[in-house]
Structure 1
Amino acid sequence: MYELIQVSEQSYYIQSPAKIGLVKLNKQDVCLIDSGNDKDAGRKVRQLLEANGWRLTAIYNTHSNADHIGGNKYLQGQTGCMIYAPGIDCAFTHHPILEPSFLYGGYPCKELRHKFLMAQESDAQELTKESLPEGFEIIPLPGHFFDMVGFRTPDDVVYLADCLSSRETLDKYQIGFIYDVAAYLNTMEMVKSLRAKMFVPAHAAASEDVTELAQYNIDKVLEIADKITGICREPLCFEVILQKLFADYGLTMNFEQYVLVGSTVRSYLAWLKDNGRVNTLFEDNMLLWQRA
């Protein structure tokens, strides 16, 4: 873990729970793409930088999930580097309480206020084309989170953030976190058309071709949508729908899974309603969902 792996002349990634991109800008200066999940991750990255005699100039966050921005504060404090994050995610990076609050739908109880869902705040600037090193390209990747992006480096390596999950992850956990299902599917279709020297997803193996994996992710989303529609044969409240999904997929409920999977299932229901596949009704002061 935290091994530095070179994938092209300038571009590397650090093997960690969410891969951290590292790109050499010249002989001394480097930038990071994301920073790991906590202060300990940041410390290990700093040690790696020092071992190679590199100076960190900037961290470019793909999005604001805690496992991607958790090392920001430590690394900025140690190196004085700049931090950039895209759009709405920049606000989440400044105010990390927003992530568990958004997931829960209210003020999160203490079981949700921990480093896996709430990073330390960091002084991030909004990501723009002008803030990027020369030759870098921003690739919009909406769907998984609000304004998530990827990056193409000057030597044609594409960092894909969280838009792809590995087959092993999907087969084990089944329901990956998605904020906007329609945007996610559009992003997956776009990713299938991308070409690069190497692709580096945060939660799947680096590969020269991600077309089949992108299709596997699409197929899983469509499978889950069909399963939710089938569950709603009769009018059901959200909690019962969620319970049945957990039972069907053999998942175990806890606070983290409740908010992560629950938020995702609400997004599926909204997408299915917008597409006319499910309807809603209010009965005995309860919102019910039913297949159209």
Structure 2
Amino acid sequence: MEFQSLKDGTCFYFQGPVNIGYLQNGEEGMLIDAGIDASAMKKVLKRLRQEDLPLTHLFITHAHSDHYGGANYLQRQQEVHTAAPILEAAILQHPILEPLYLFGGNDPLPELRNKFLEGAPIKIDQMIDEGFCQIGSFAIEAILLPGHSYYQLGLLYQGIFYAGDSYFGEKQLEKHGIPYLTDTQAAMDSLHKLQRITCQGAVPGHGTFEENFQSTVQANLEYHKQLLDWLEEEIGKKTDGMSHEDIIASMCATYHVRTQQLSQWLLFRTAVTAYLTALLKQNRITSEIRNYRWFFKAAS
């Protein structure tokens, strides 16, 4: 995990599999996200101590465990004022909600209650909505960027934008094949919103800091469009339509994703459904319940 300065004395980030931002203002310091587990947080705390940097605040961009899993350990080590977006805060305080919604509302099986889907609960001191806000001494603009998560907020501070998972580095897009989304249309709207943000550079949740990040944002838009076009064409090949489960199987096979575990399959089911609902919203396909299954057909 490499600690990088983005703006002298104010904006930094820990670059790793999941990036963690850090802001400093005098005697106050704030982490943006907390990594997946205690091990990640221990590395962060060790480096901050080495650099003699304060840590008084924590902000979580969205309630996915790879971004908040280390927060419980941090809160047990020291007092830290913790802020989070509204709605996301409910999941952070009650993390069973993630495996619960992924499992369609049924009580999740024990195998779904793991650190990748359910981090340890954390205390939230301040809930944040979109707009300008004050977290301790940090005057921040919070920007709503749903699509990957329900109420994800990116933070703009001193010209540096911490984007959460509103977009991915191009290597990450290729690696995952079908990126995890809850609403593809909302995610694409968020990407267009990102292109209008004026800043000196951006840090994604997965990827690297870029001053000219708009080209990576555009690559994300084009990737989502490619998947939507493929899906529309695939459904159009079947005159009688395709069932939801057959579409999931076909898309996962085509994009070579691994679904050997139930938890993986549920994540990709959500992602594929996000692309299907985008096509429905764009009136490019239709759906119906037939023979107790959810079927999709090309729009006539």
User: TM-score with structure 1 length normalisation?
Assistant: 0.94
State yes or no: 1:138 paired with 2:142.
yes
In 2, the alpha carbon distance for the partners of 1:282 and 1:46 equals 52
State yes or no: 1:124 paired with 2:124.
yes
In 2, the alpha carbon distance for the partners of 1:116 and 1:25 equals 32
Aligned residue for 1:164, secondary structure, equals coil
Aligned residue for 1:161, secondary structure, equals coil
Which of 188, 204, 229 is 2:232 aligned to? 229
Aligned residue for 1:14, secondary structure, equals strand
Which of 143, 150, 167 is 2:154 aligned to? 150
State yes or no: 1:92 paired with 2:91.
yes
* Paired residue type of 2:209: A
* Paired residue type of 1:207: E
Aligned to 1:253: 259
Q: Which runs of 5+ in 2 are unaligned?
A: none
CA contact (8 A) 1:56 1:79 kept: no
| Residues 45-64 of structure 1: CA deviation (Å, up to 9, x unaligned) | 22122222233111011111
Q: Which stretch of the first structure deviates more once superposed, 236-245 or 264-273?
A: 264-273
In 2, the alpha carbon distance for the partners of 1:5 and 1:189 equals 28
Aligned to 1:50: 49
In 2, the alpha carbon distance for the partners of 1:23 and 1:177 equals 28
The alignment-based identity, stated in percent, is 27
In 2, the alpha carbon distance for the partners of 1:81 and 1:229 equals 48
State yes or no: 1:286 paired with 2:287.
no
Aligned to 1:19: 19
In 2, the alpha carbon distance for the partners of 1:222 and 1:71 equals 34
State yes or no: 1:175 paired with 2:159.
no
State yes or no: 1:161 paired with 2:168.
no
In 1, the alpha carbon distance for the partners of 2:165 and 2:218 equals 15
In 2, the alpha carbon distance for the partners of 1:285 and 1:137 equals 47
Aligned to 2:209: 206
Aligned to 1:277: 284
In 1, the alpha carbon distance for the partners of 2:23 and 2:55 equals 10
State yes or no: 1:61 paired with 2:73.
no
CA contact (8 A) 1:72 1:83 kept: no
* Paired residue type of 2:55: L
CA contact (8 A) 2:55 2:80 kept: yes
| Residues 130-169 of structure 1: CA deviation (Å, up to 9, x unaligned) | 435343211211111011011111x211111111111112
In 2, the alpha carbon distance for the partners of 1:102 and 1:13 equals 31
In 2, the alpha carbon distance for the partners of 1:55 and 1:170 equals 34
Which consecutive segments of 4 or more residues in structure 1 shift more than 3 A? 130-134
In 1, the alpha carbon distance for the partners of 2:51 and 2:76 equals 20
Aligned to 1:35: 34
| Residues 211-231 of structure 1: CA deviation (Å, up to 9, x unaligned) | 111111011111111112122
Aligned residue for 2:56, secondary structure, equals strand
In 1, the alpha carbon distance for the partners of 2:71 and 2:15 equals 17
Q: Which stretch of the first structure deviates more once superposed, 202-211 or 227-236?
A: 227-236
Aligned to 1:192: 195
In 1, the alpha carbon distance for the partners of 2:258 and 2:61 equals 29
Instruction: Give how far 1:193 is off.
Output: 2.1
In 2, the alpha carbon distance for the partners of 1:40 and 1:172 equals 24
CA contact (8 A) 1:164 1:204 kept: no
Instruction: Give how far 1:109 is off.
Output: 1.9
Q: Which runs of 5+ in 1 are unaligned?
A: none
Q: Which stretch of the first structure deviates more once superposed, 161-170 or 58-67?
A: 161-170
State yes or no: 1:108 paired with 2:108.
yes
In 1, the alpha carbon distance for the partners of 2:21 and 2:72 equals 17
Aligned residue for 2:163, secondary structure, equals strand
* Paired residue type of 2:256: G
In 1, the alpha carbon distance for the partners of 2:156 and 2:136 equals 11
Aligned residue for 1:143, secondary structure, equals coil
